[in-house]
Chain A
């Protein structure tokens, strides 16, 4: 099992997509400190979690993992949802592109399930408006 390869299969395309926006939007992954609280800087937080490893019923191969991907978009509060939704669209497009990829003989075959959300939230204390989507995934390590 190669957890890092599974993580990279979804993190790299997201990082590439948000980095190529103008202006680029920083993406922070698990255990990476994001911008300090109380700034209005927009950013993206991606959390990849693992639920089940090597469930034998998925396929005859045991190099499988299931889990969840949670993507949160932080944009400036009080400016309406448009910017947040634009960035959410970028994230959804990446997930859909991943799903359109075909299975090869090496690497990681990564498929996401239905995308739940977006849901939005904002609190008085935080300077951010937060959009959130989540999805399940099934990943197979092929080599």
Chain B
């Protein structure tokens, strides 16, 4: 029992050391990967006023959070919170990226809704078509029709399920680890 306690104390000390020494070097990799994923999502997703694009947030498992402003305008970069040493070593999922916009589900083509074209020019290029269902990007027509869309249908599913996130994290981690001298 005493040996177990000693071992746990050792682990605790190791975690503290990791907190002090390794975090700065290593956790920048996943942090940058998370930031780049948000940039990718901003580029892939719809941008009309910019509110949705500026509503992405990055959270660590221990509750630290950074977020966009939620304001209209061109998409702004969201800096990721740095991981703690414990988070870097022990947490399988290091960051959670989500969108706090009130119409996040509609923008990601997850639910049906009703859309009113504001008549303004969106911040991103758009395609025209006729909306078939209540899904935002469900337009048909060869760039002709009454409805406009600034991102293709299922852009979010394609990014999340199509493997782009895995690739991005690996690339970013490799780049970061390549600069660290052990």
Query: Which residues does A use to contact B, with CB under 8 Å?
Result: 28, 30-34, 37, 45, 47, 49-52, 55, 66-68, 70, 72, 74, 113, 116, 119, 121-126, 128, 130, 132, 134-136
Contact = CB atoms under 8 A, between A and B. Distances in A.
A51 B164 contact: yes
B89 to A, nearest CB: 26
Interface in B91-149: 105, 109-114, 130-135, 138, 140
B153 A47 contact: yes
Contacts of B134: 37, 123, 125-126, 128, 130
B114 A119 contact: no
Contact of A130 (B111, B132, B159, B163): B111
Contact of A31 (B140, B154, B160): B140
Size category of the binding interface on chain B = 20 to 34
A116 B161 CA distance: 10
B167 interface: yes
Contacts, number: 92
B138 to A, nearest CB: 7
Contact of B163 (A31, A33, A66): A66
Interface in B26-58: none
Q: Is the interface of A mostly helix, strand, loop or mixed?
A: strand
B162 A67 contact: yes
Contacts of A67: 158, 161-162
Contacts of A135: 161
B164 A32 contact: no
A1 to B, nearest CB: 15
A60 B159 CA distance: 24
A114 to B, nearest CB: 9
Contacts of B132: 28, 33-34, 37, 45
Nearest to B109: A70
B140 A49 contact: no
A123 to B, nearest CB: 5
A47 B161 contact: no
B133 A49 contact: no
